[in-house]
Amino acid sequence: MNGPNLNLLGQRQPEIYGHESLADVGEACAALASDLHLTVRFHQSNHEGVLVDWIQEAREQGAGIVINPGAFSHTSVAILDALNAFDGPVLEVHISNIHKREAFRHHSFVSQRAEGVIAGFGTEGYLLALRRMANLLGVK
């Protein structure tokens, strides 16, 4: 699950977020998921409430959540509350190393819910998170 502005991946601040598009990342995740015997739904929204709705849907339809909440990481109690209502594992991904950036990016509300956090590994972080998710779910 991807939050705001990640639809512009590859176009916005490539020196920070890289040159790959979100569609490229989605394709790479789908290919790895197939190797790991996982089914992945890959979503992006610029809207906090839509992300909350998808997290709530995952209560019925998802075993685990890998989320890059974008800027909502640093602001959204609503996303944290929704994740706290989800029973499965949650992994948080940030493409950039948020700890090396502005102070307002150093805190993430989601991190207190996440089993693990990946930051600064570029888009490879999504693939690392998927591998970890397969282990946490005991698949493969």
> Is residue 99 a contact partner of residue 106, using CB atoms and an 8 Å limit?
yes
Site for ligand DHK in 59-88 (CB under 6 A): 68, 70-71, 73
Pick the closer one to ligand DHK by CB: 40 or 98: 98
Site string for ligand DHK, 21-60 (x = CB under 6 A): ----------------------------------------
**Closest CB 122 distance from ligand DHK, rounded Å:** 9
- 115-122 long-range contacts (CB < 8 A, ≥24 apart) are 115/89, 115/90, 115/91, 116/91, 116/92, 117/91, 117/92, 117/93, 118/91, 118/92, 118/93, 118/94, 119/93, 119/94, 120/94, 120/95, 120/96, 121/95, 122/18, 122/95
**If binding is defined by CB under 6 A, does position 111 make contact with ligand DHK?**
no
**If binding is defined by CB under 6 A, does position 96 make contact with ligand DHK?**
yes
Q: Which of 43, 94, 99, 126 is catalytic?
A: 94
Pick the closer one to ligand DHK by CB: 4 or 63: 4
**Closest CB 70 distance from ligand DHK, rounded Å:** 4
**Closest CB 138 distance from ligand DHK, rounded Å:** 28
Among this protein's residues, is 94 annotated catalytic?
A: yes
Q: How many CB atoms lie within 10 A of CB 117?
A: 17
Among this protein's residues, is 126 annotated catalytic?
A: no
Residue ranges with strand state E in the chain: 65-67, 90-94, 116-119
**Closest CB 46 distance from ligand DHK, rounded Å:** 10
- Report CA torsion sign: 31, 86, 114, 70: positive
- Catalytic residue IDs: 17, 94
